[in-house]
Structure 1
Amino acid sequence: MESKTEKRLVMGAIILLTLFLSPIFILGDNAHIRVHDNLDSNLAWYKVLAESGEILGSTEARIPQIINGELQRNAFGTEYSLIVWLHAWFPTMIAYGLSQGITRFVAFFGMYLLLKKHFIPGEKRGIIRVGVSLAFAMTPFWPSGMLSTLGMPLALWAFLNIRNRENSWKNYLVLTLIPLYASVVLGFFFFLTAIGIFWLVDVIRGKGWNWPFFFAIVYMTGIFMLVEYRLVYSFLFDHEPNSRDEYFHARLTFWNSVRLSFKNYFIGHNHVMTVHTIVIQPVLFIAFIYVWLKKNWQQEKTFVFLFALNFLLSVWYAFWFYRGWLPLTERLHFLDTFNFARYHFLRPLIIYVLFAISLKILWNQGLWWRKSVPLIAIAQVVLLLFANEEVVFQNRPSVGEFYAIDQFEEIKEYIGLPQTDYRVASIGIHPAIAQYNGFYTLDTYNNFYPLTYKYEFRKIIEKELNKNKTIRTYFDEWGGRCYIFTAELGKHYMFKKNSKKTLKNLELNTDQFKQMGGSYFFSAIPIENAEENGLALEKVFQSEESAWKIHLYRAM
C-alpha cells in the first residue's frame, strides 16, 4: 500500500514540475527569465556561436562577430555540451525550456534515488523523499550551469553505490553522461575533489583502498577532461595574457568576510540559490536541538557532519575574498585566475540532504511531528513556486522585449550596410542585445579575452574611468564586462525606454573608437553633449515590443 502511495506522490511531483516549467513553453518570447548571466550573456553567446560556423572550430579559432575577431572560440566552451547543440537546433526559448526540463527532472530523480537508497530508506518516509526531491528540483539554479550543481545528487548516488561495491553499468552510465551536461569549473571540480577526500578518509580510517571507488573518481574526472578539452588546452598551452589575469579577488577586511559568511549561510548565493532561509533553516536548527538534547551524536553523525560542513563552506566562500590572501595570490597567480570559492557550490546538495535528514529526525519525535513533516515539505515546495522565474522577474523585460529583434532589424535596415562592414558599441544596455541581433560589437561580456584588447578598449573610456573609482576598479580588476562605462551611469546598463536619465558630461575617446573600427553607438539614453564627443544623432528608434529607446549615434 505504501509503495502505491509513494508512486502516486512521484507522479504528482512530475505533474507539478511540468506545470512549473510550462510558462517557458506557453509564453515563449513573452516569458520573463533571469537577465544576469543569462539574457545578458549566455543566451546571446549560444546564438552567436551557432551562427559563427565555429561550433566545431579548432582551439585556435576566433569568433569574428565579437571584439574584432579577437575572442577565442575556446571562450564559449565545449561543443561536447548538449546545451550548445540545443541552441543550435532550436529557437532560443525552446532550447531554454528543454534545458530547464532536462536539468530539473534529472535533479528530481537524482535526489530521489540518493535519498531512497542512502539517506532516507524505509517504506513510510516517501513523503520526505518525494517532497525534498521536488523542492530541490525547483530551486532557481543558474540556467547555463545545467547539471553542474543539480546533477550532484545523481552523481553521488552512483559514487556511493560503487563505494558499496555495487558496480552496475547504470552507475558508470551516470558518470559518463553527466559531464555532457555539466561544467567542471562551475561545480564538478569541487564535487570530485570532495569525493576524492571522502575516498582518502575511508583509506585513513582503515576501510581499505577500495579501488573500484577510486577508479570511478578517476573515470569521471577523465571524462570531464575530454569533454572540457578546450579549457584544458587554454590552461596548459595558451600563454597569451587574458582578462582573467587581472582578476583580483582578495580585497575584503576580516569583519567584512565574517559578515559575508553569515550572509551566504542564511541567504545563499546568486548562482546557487537554495531558498532555504524561511523554511529549511529553522527545520535544520530544530533537528539539531533534538540531536543535542537526546545526545544522538553517534546515531546522527551524518547529519552533524553535514550541518557543520554547510557552515564551513560559507566561511570558506567568504574568506576566499579576505585580503589576507594577498601575499599568497601574488606568488601563486592561479589562485586569482581560478575561483576556489566555488566549493560553496556543494551547498545545494548538502542543504537539501540535510533538510531530508532533519525531517526524518522530526518524524521520529512522535505523532505530532509525523503529521507536521508533510506540511513542512509542502511549505517549501509552495515557497519555491513563488521562486519561478515568471514570478521573480515579472517586472523585468520579457525575452522578446529584451532582445527587441524587430527594433534592431529596423536599425540594421536604416544603416543599410552589411553588418560585417562596421562595428558598434552600446551605452546603457547590454552589448549582448546587439550581438544577438547579428551586429559586430567592440564591447562584450566575456571573462576570457586578450588583455591587449582590454587595454586598447580602455582608451575609449579612460576619462570616464578616471572620474569614478567604482567603475575603474570594476573594469581594471576584473574587466569581464568590457562595456562603454560612464561615470554618470556607473554599473547600470539597463535603462528602459521610460527612463528620464540623460548623459550630460560624457567624455569618450571617439578617435580611439574609430581607430578600432567603431562606427555607431546604440545608446539607451540621450547624450546631451554628443557633438563634443564627435557624435551625430542619426535617429531614435522605438517599438511597443521593445524595452528600449535606442538613440543611434554615428562617430563623425
Structure 2
Amino acid sequence: MLIKTKKEQRFILFALLVIAVYLSPLFILQENAHIRVHDNLDSNLAWYKVLARSGEMFGTVNATIPQIINGRLSRNAFGTEYSIIVWLYALFPTMIAYGLSQTLTRIVAFFGMYWLLKKHFLPGEKWLFLQIATALAFALTPFWPSGMLSTMGMPLALWAILNIRNGERTWKEYLVLALLPFYASIVLGFFFFLTAMGILWLTDCFRGKGWNPGFFIAIVYMTMIFMLVEYRLIFSFLVIDEPNSRDEYIYATLPFWRSLRLVLKNYLLGHTHVMTVHTLFVLPPTFIAIYLVYLKKLWKQEKLFVFLFILNILLSIWYAFWFYEGWMPLVRRFHFLGTFNFARYHFLRPMVIYAGFALALKILLLQGKNWARTAKWFLVLQLLLLGLFNDEVIYRKKPTVKEFFAVELFREIEEYIELPKEEYRVASIGIHPAISQYNGFYTLDTYNNFYPLAYKHQFRKIIEKELAKNKRVRKYFDKWGGRCYIFTAQLGKHYMIKKNSKQHLKNLELNTDVFKKMGGRYIFSALPIDNPKENQLVLVKVFESKTSAWKIFLYKTL
C-alpha cells in the first residue's frame, strides 16, 4: 500500500519515531536492560542459545539435545530451524537478537493494523488519525516476546486475505502469506486465525456469496507453508507415539462459577501471553459506542463494530470454559483435546480489541465536537499508558538480563569444578535451570512442555517426599510438569531467590540416590541447606558476584 499524502507520511514517521523511543532502552542498556522473566528469560532465551550450541540446528526429527535431561529432550521441542527468531539468537548476542526481534515484530504489527484499518475497517482519509494512532497503540502492546508475529502479525495476514477475498490477488498478498510463517507459530496463534478464516469462507458460502476459490486457496496456501515450516511439530504430534509430559496435562478442573469468574477476568484484564492493556481506556469508549449503537439503532451501519464487540466476549467465554471441569469426559475420550490447547482462540483478541477500539472511536467522533475531543483523548491516554508498560518500567524491580544469567558467576563455578561439563549433571534449587543451561551446564532439570513422560516419572522420585508435603506444588508438577524442577515444600513455586535472602532450606528430603543414578553430581542452590548430610550432600563453596542476582551454594553429592 503506497503512502499517498505528506500528512500521512508525517503521521507514519512520528509513529515509527515513537516505536524507536519505546525500544531504545533495549539497544542502549542491552544486558543491563530489564525484560520479562516468565516464559522468556526463564525459558525461550536460554533454549535458543542451547540450540545454537548443540550442533543440532538441522538435526533429524529423531535427534535430541544432549545438554538437557540426559539427552532425552527431542530436538523438535525447540522448534523449527526455519524460524527467523532461531537464527537471530544464533547469529547475534542475546540482547541484540532480542532488540531486533522486538523491532521487527512491532513494525510489522504497526503497518499490518494500519493497512487493515485503512483498507477494510476504517477506509477514508478523514480517519487518518484514528488509523495511525490505533495501529501505533496496537504495536506498543506488551506481547509475548517469543510469540513473535503469532498474534501481532494477524492484522497483516487479515489484510492480505481480505484483499484476496475481495478479488485483489497481487503478488503482495501472497508474499505476506508466504513470509509470515517464518516469523510466527501455528500453535501460538495462526492455527486459530486460519480456522477462523475457514469459518468466514464457509459463512460466505452459506450466505450465497459463492465458493470464492481464490479465498479458499489463500487459506490452504498459508496453511501448507506453515506445515512445511513447522514440520517438526507436525511430526511430533502425528508420528511420535512415545508418551510425553503433555499426556498428564490436566486443565479442565474449574467448576462452573470459577469458569464464569475467569470469563470476566479475561475479558477485563486479558492474558499474560497476549496482553492488550485495554481495561482503562479501550473498554470505556467501546461500551459507550455500543450504547450509542443501541440508542440510535445503528445496527446495520455499524455491523462490523457490533460483530467485533460480540466476538470479543465470545472469545473470553471460550477461553474460560475450556478449563471447565465438564470437559473432562471428552478429554479422556479424545486424547488430542488434552495435548493441544484449543483455549488459544483468545489469541485473536489483540487484533479484535484494537480493531474494535478504532471503530468505537469513529462512532464517538461522529457524535459532535465534544465527543470527538473525548475520543482523541482516549487514544492519547491509551498511548501514554502503553508507554508506562515498557519493559524497563514494569520489570524494573526484576533482575537485569546480565544479573539473571550471571555469566561471570557461573564461569567461576565452571572453573572451580574443573571438569568438562558433559561429564557431570547439575540441578538447581531456588533458581531457574535455564540459567545453568544458558551457561552451558548439562542439567537434569528443565522447563519444557514436551519431553518423555518416563523421564518426568523418574525425576519425580528425586522430589517425591517434598511433593508429599506440599499439595499445591504436587498438583502443579503432577498435572502439568512443564517445570521439571527440584521443587521443595518450603519454597513451593518460588524459583527466583535473590542473593539478599536470609532464608535457609530446612528439613529438605531429596532422593539423592536417584539423582546420582541419573548422573547428578552438583546442586546449585540459591539458599543454604541446613541438613546436607541427610541428603548425601556436602557444601563445597559459596559463589557470589556484584553482577549476579543470585548467591550460589554449590553442593556435591557424597
Report what 2:172 is aligned to: 170
What's the CA shift string for 1:482-513, capped at 9, x where partnerless? 00000000011000001112111100000110
Residues 541 and 550, structure 1, Cα contact 8 Å, conserved in 2: yes
Amino acid corresponding to residue 107 of structure 1 in structure 2: A
Counterpart in 1 of 2:143? Answer: 141
Q: Is the 8 A contact 1:2 1:123 kept in 2?
A: no
Question: What is the SS of the residue equivalent to 2:502?
Answer: coil
Can you list the C-alpha shifts for 1:403-450, whole angstroms capped at 9, x where unaligned? 000000000000010101100000000000000000000000000001
Paired residue for 1:498, among 497, 500, 503?
500
* Kept after mapping to 2: 8 A contact 1:3/1:123: no
Letter in 2 for 1:36: H
1:205 aligns with one of 190, 204, 207: 207
Asked if 2 retains the 8 angstrom alpha-carbon contact of 1:243 and 1:451, the reply is yes
Corresponding residue for residue 391 of structure 1: 393
Structural mapping, 1:144-223, within 5 Å: 144-223=146-225
Q: Match for residue 433 of structure 1?
A: 435
Deviation larger for 166-175 or 360-369: 360-369
**Per-residue deviation at 1:2?**
10
Letter in 2 for 1:393: Y
SS at match of 2:5: helix
1:300-339 CA-to-partner distances (Å, cap 9, x unmatched) read 1111111011011101100000000011111011111100
1:30 to 16, 29, 32: 32
Q: Deviations over 1:493-551 (max 9, x none)?
A: 00000111211110000011000000000000111011111110000100010000000
AA of the residue aligned to 2:364: L
Match of 1:63 among 62, 65, 80: 65
Structure 1 residue 144: deviation in Å?
0.3
For 1:261 and 1:317, how far apart are their aligned partners in 2?
A: 7
Taking the aligned partners of 2:363 and 2:319, their CA distance within structure 1 comes to 29
Aligned 8 A contact 1:257 1:319 in 2: yes
Instruction: Give, in whole Å, the separation in 1 of the partners of 2:129 and 2:45.
Output: 37
Deviations along 1:112-152, whole A, 9 cap, x unmatched?
Answer: 00000001111111110011000000000000000000000
In the aligned structure 2, how far is the partner of 1:249 from the partner of 1:209? 38
Q: 1:323 aligns with which of 322, 325, 350?
A: 325
Distance between the aligned counterparts of 2:374 and 2:173, measured in 1? 35
Match of 2:270 among 260, 268, 271: 268
Residues 1:546 and 2:543 aligned together: no
Aligned pairs for 1:354-433 (under 5 A) are: 354-433=356-435
The letter of the residue matching 1:18 is A
Runs of 4+ in 1 over 6 A off after TM superposition: none
SS of the counterpart of 1:499?
coil
Cα drift, residue 7 of structure 1: 2.0
Measure, in 2, the Cα distance between the counterparts of 1:374 and 1:173.
35
For 1:538, what is the secondary structure of its paired residue?
A: strand
SS at match of 1:429: coil
Q: Secondary structure at the match of 2:488?
A: coil
2:130 partner letter = I
CA distance in 2, matches of 1:372, 1:325: 44
2:442 aligned with 1:447: no
Hey, what does 2:246 align to over in structure 1? 244
C-alpha distance after superposition, 1:158-197 (max 9, x if no partner): 0000000000110000000000000000000000000000
| 1:445/1:480 contact within 8 Å kept | yes
Give how far 1:376 is off: 1.8
| Equivalent position amino acid for 1:398 in 2 | T
Given the alignment of the two structures, is residue 42 of structure 1 paired with residue 39 of structure 2, yes or no? Answer: no
Mapped to 2, the partners of 1:273 and 1:213 lie a distance apart of: 30
SS, match of residue 553 in structure 1: strand
1:61-93 superposed Cα distances (whole Å, 9 cap, x missing partner): 110000000100000000010000000000000
* Aligned residues of 2:433 and 2:485 also touching (Cα < 8 A): yes
- State the alpha-carbon separation in 2 of the partners of residues 146 and 52 from structure 1: 23
Following the alignment from structure 1 to structure 2, what is the Cα–Cα distance between the partners of residues 373 and 504? 58
Unaligned runs of 5+ in 2: none
Q: In structure 1, what is the equivalent of residue 299 of structure 2? A: 297
Q: Which residue of 1 aligns with 2:460?
A: 458
- The answer on whether the counterparts of 1:317 and 1:343 sit within 8 Å (CA) in structure 2 is yes
Contact kept? 1:2, 1:124, Cα under 8 Å: no
How far apart, CA to CA, are the structure 1 residues paired with 2:111 and 2:376?
19
TM-superposed CA distance for 1:373, in Å, is 2.6
TM-score relative to the length of structure 2: 0.99
Read off the aligned partner of 1:87 and give its amino acid letter: Y
Determine which of 6, 9, 14 is the counterpart of 2:8: 6
Contact 1:146 1:181 in 2 (8 A): yes
Distance 1:3 1:379 in 2: 27
Contact 2:446 2:484 in 1 (8 A): yes
* Equivalent of 2:512 in 507, 510, 521: 510
Amino acid at match of 1:40: D
Displacement after TM superposition at 1:375 (Å)? 2.2
1:101 aligns with 2:117: no
- Local SS of the residue matching 2:466: helix
CA RMSD of aligned residues (A): 0.9
Q: Deviations over 1:222-272 (max 9, x none)?
A: 000000000111111100100011101100000000000000000000000
Return the match for 1:231 from 230, 233, 248: 233
Q: Which runs of 5+ in 1 are unaligned?
A: none
2:129 to 116, 127, 145: 127
C-alpha distance in 1 between matches for 2:348 and 2:502:
43
Residues 128 and 373 of structure 1 are in contact (CA less than 8 Å); yes or no, is this contact kept in structure 2? Answer: no
Change (3 A) 1:330 1:410: same
- The count of corresponding residues between Structure 1 and Structure 2 is 556
Aligned-partner Cα distance in 1 for 2:506–2:221: 59
C-alpha separation in 2, matches of 1:469 and 1:333: 26
Shift in Å at residue 476 of structure 1? 0.8
* Offset of residue 3 of structure 1: 3.4
Q: Which amino acid aligns with 1:267?
A: L
Alpha-carbon distance in structure 2 between the residues aligned to 1:529 and 1:504: 7
**SS of the residue 1:520 aligns to:** strand
CA distance in 1, matches of 2:256, 2:373: 45
Inter-partner Cα distance in structure 1 for 2:348 and 2:363: 23
Q: Which residue in the other structure is 1:16 paired with?
A: 18
The separation in 2 between residues aligned to 1:33 and 1:452, in whole angstroms, is 34
Aligned equivalent of 1:476, options 478, 484, 493: 478
Whole-angstrom CA distance in 2 between matches of 1:236 and 1:343: 21
Structure 2 contact 285–375 (Cα < 8 Å) conserved: no
How far apart, CA to CA, are the structure 1 residues paired with 2:118 and 2:169? 18
SS at match of 1:525: coil
TM-score, normalised to structure 1's length? 0.99
Matched residue SS, 1:78: coil
